[in-house]
Amino acid sequence: MHSETRDRMKITLLAVALVGLSVGLGLSIAGQDDLARMLWATGVLPVLAALVMEIVRSLSKGEVGLDIVAALSMSAALFFGEALAAAVVAVMYSGGTFLESFAEGRARREMRNLLARVPRTGTRHRNGRLEEVPLEAIAAGDRLLIRRGDVAPVDGTVESDSAILDQSALTGESMPVRHAPGEEVMSGSTNVGEAFDLRASRRAAESTYAGIVRLVEAAQQSKAPMSRLADRYSLLFLAVTVTLAAGAWWFTGDPIRAVAVLVVATPCPLILAVPVALVAGLSRAAHFGVLIKGAKPLEALARIRTLILDKTGTLTDGRPQIVSIEAQGAATEDDILTIAATLEQASKHPIAQAIVAAARERGLTLPVPSQVAESPGEGVAGKVNGHSVLVGGVDFVMNRLGDPRNSAHGAGEVVVALALDGRLGGHLVLADRLRAGTAQFLAGLRRIGIDRILLATGDRRAVAEAITTSLGLDAVCPELTPDQKVALVLSERKNGPVMMVGDGVNDAPALAAADVGVAMGARGAAASAEAADVVLLVDDLNRLLPGLEIAHGSRRIALESVIAGIGLSVAGMIAAALGYLTPVQGALLQELIDVAVILNALRALKIAPATENREAFVRQDLEVPPPAPLAATSAGGPT
């Protein structure tokens, strides 16, 4: 049965119960007591019938739920002539289930908004004209027009001078982001600036937004471990309730006291508070760009004690960046960068692309090179403004110049040499840097209860150990293969639940093996996102902090609601057994408790993480020295 059909049925049952109760009260006031009892019973029976059907379905699956208590209380109240109490229970029970659905619907609002934003078509350039095509017709390499207000239908790169995009639905960033030519755009981003051209990098089904939608749909199907725990202990609660009701009847000889005990116990706040609080937590985390695939990993996040971090693309940016330029003779740094970037435009190597990106960031004008010849993995030769230029690894360039020598550089650095008209012109030093705010991020993890933080990487020991001193990690594990990362995750479980954070295909097995796997979803591999329990929708490791705080807060709110609700219910049951509450009073009291715990559980929608203020991270980053450079990606390149 679809959720919309279930919601309509709950509304119908609530309406029937309300009409029966209110009309019956009117008849009772008018002195028509017999007719009033008939109306009350008429309003109760449909609710009771629907409840019995639900219980039968649950029993057929081997599940014993606390709804049995509600069925017993309504049945007992009708049997012993307490039709008004039965009507109150029916109204409050149907109202409680409707309120639960309403609360879960509100908690999922942001996720539904995400699903509703899926574009259906795209505007494609074809033979000098624009054509509107279905989403599935867009292929990698297509040039699309993204008009103001349009949602990018696929991942791609900016082909125009610039693009201003609202990424709030994906990342939680409140401010629009400006993208320069050649920069990547995530599908699902909304164009809030002038129209621009987008070069599709993959099909719609393979794009970021499509993957996010699939993850959201999977998240909405989950059931929390605490909810399953409630089901397992429902027999115990049912036994306690029935025993207390039977005891009150046995010792007093008054069956009405048993009815009062049953109605006070219906329904247990445990079945309402847990799912509402955890689903609200899922929605709140999504607001911060943290997509948690269900209530189970949300609860598991609150129990994490050990964190294992991948390095390249996770702890570091995963992209080489220029850290220094060494010019020879009268040439300036900009001269060296302009010449090198001009020639590197002809190469797709990651190092070449990093050099070109650095030149564009400085606003340098890059002419078109000519007579380009590339030696894959070594370097590029060609003409720039009539001059002969060589750009590549030191060995490649110096051997071409007939002067074989090397250039000393630090661990993890890549040195690119440039020769101009047969002479060495200079060097560009690149490295993969630590992400901004890494030290503050790790300190924040310690504050919220992460006891051990380890680095797991496939890089050489010298490169991996370069960051140990500055970051204060508990252990650095270098030169690991994917299966060794899995073994590390399993061995660390002796210290408590383990969370693994990674972004590459090689991290996917470890992410799946961890109690909670976290993938860098913005630029990470699809395999890691599929294997992970949590996906960071923006390429910012700091987003994990609010995700963890929300998980802790949601679990705490759920437990608070359960403990308070159960405590009040038990107190009410004892009062009913002692004769201080009539069935009608007991029913009203219990349903007030249920409404209170649902409203309390909804507080998870308003959890305000201490790390919410992103400007604080920026300010902290300006106050610390730049981190030591780390190794570039292992894709290979000029050395």
**Higher per-residue confidence, 173 vs 14:** 14
Is residue 632 classed as helix, strand or coil in its secondary structure? coil
Q: Which residues does the annotation mark as catalytic?
A: 310
pLDDT digits (tens, 9 = 90+) for 466-487: 665 677 788 888 878 778 888 8
Asked whether the bond before 627 is cis by omega within 30 degrees of 0, the reply is no
3-state helix/strand/coil string of 288-341 = CCEEECCHHHHHHHCCCCEEEECHHHHHECCCCEEEEEEECCCCCHHHHHHHHH
Rounded to the nearest 5 percent, the helix, strand and coil shares of the chain are: 55, 15, 30
Contact 65, 55 (CB under 8 A): yes
pLDDT for residue 613: 44
| d(C-alpha 56, C-alpha 48), whole Å | 12
Highest mean pLDDT among 232-246, 340-354, 407-421, 542-556: 542-556
Q: How confident is the model at residue 169 (pLDDT cuts 50, 70, 90)?
A: low
Question: Which pLDDT belongs to residue 198?
Answer: 94
Rama region for 568: left / alpha / beta (φ>0; ψ in -120 to 50; rest):
alpha
How far is it, in rounded angstroms, from Cα 77 to Cα 96?
19
Write the pLDDT tens digit of every residue in 266-288. 655 566 677 778 888 888 888 88
How is 416-438 classified by DSSP, letter by letter? EEEEETTEEEEEEEEEBPBPTTH
Of all residues in the chain, the percent with pLDDT exceeding 70 is 77
Contact call for residues 48 and 40 (beta carbons, < 8 A): no
Selected residue with higher pLDDT from 19 and 521: 19
Please tell me which residue, 199 or 394, carries the higher pLDDT value.
199
**Is there a contact between 355 and 337 (Cβ–Cβ < 8 Å)?**
yes
491 against 414, higher pLDDT: 491
Per residue in 211-246, pLDDT (tens digit) is 666 655 554 454 456 555 555 556 677 788 888 999
Q: Is the pLDDT of residue 352 over 90?
A: no
Is the pLDDT score of 196 beyond 90? yes
Q: Tell me the β-bridge partners of 517.
A: 500
Residue scoring higher pLDDT (153 or 527) = 153
Q: Report whether pLDDT(180) > 80.
A: yes
> What is the rounded distance in angstroms from the CA atom of residue 413 to the CA atom of residue 242?
72
**Topology at the third CATH level for domain 120-207:** 2.70.150
Whether residue 340 has pLDDT greater than 80: yes
CATH number for the domain running over 321-431: 3.40.1110.10
Record the pTM: 0.63
Which residues is 516 bridged to in the sheet?
Answer: 499
Task: Tell me which residue of 155, 139, 142, 133 sits closest to 207, measured CA to CA.
Answer: 155
pLDDT, position 212:
60
How far is it, in rounded angstroms, from Cα 264 to Cα 88? 11
- Which residues are within 8 A (CB) of 186 and not within 5 positions of it... i.e. 6 or more apart? 152, 155, 167, 170, 207, 208, 209, 522
- Cα separation of 548 and 263, whole Å? 38
Lowest-confidence pick of 403-417, 541-555, 607-621: 607-621
The predicted-structure confidence for 423-469, as pLDDT tens digits, reads as follows: 888 888 887 777 777 778 888 888 888 889 988 887 777 776 766 56
Give the range among 88-97, 127-136, 339-348, 544-553 with minimum mean pLDDT.
Answer: 88-97
Mean pLDDT of 294-303: 84
Q: Where are the domains of the chain?
A: 3-108+220-280+552-606, 120-207, 290-317+435-537, 321-431
Q: What is the mean pLDDT of residues 292-299?
A: 82
In the chain, what is the greatest distance between 2 CA atoms, to the nearest angstrom?
Answer: 114
For 167-247, list the strands marked E by DSSP. Answer: 177-179, 184-185, 190-191, 196-200
Residues present in the chain in total: 639
Distance CA(379)–CA(381), nearest Å, equals 7
Q: Which CATH number fits domain 290-317+435-537: 3.40.50.720, 3.40.50.1000, 3.20.20.210, 3.30.470.20?
A: 3.40.50.1000
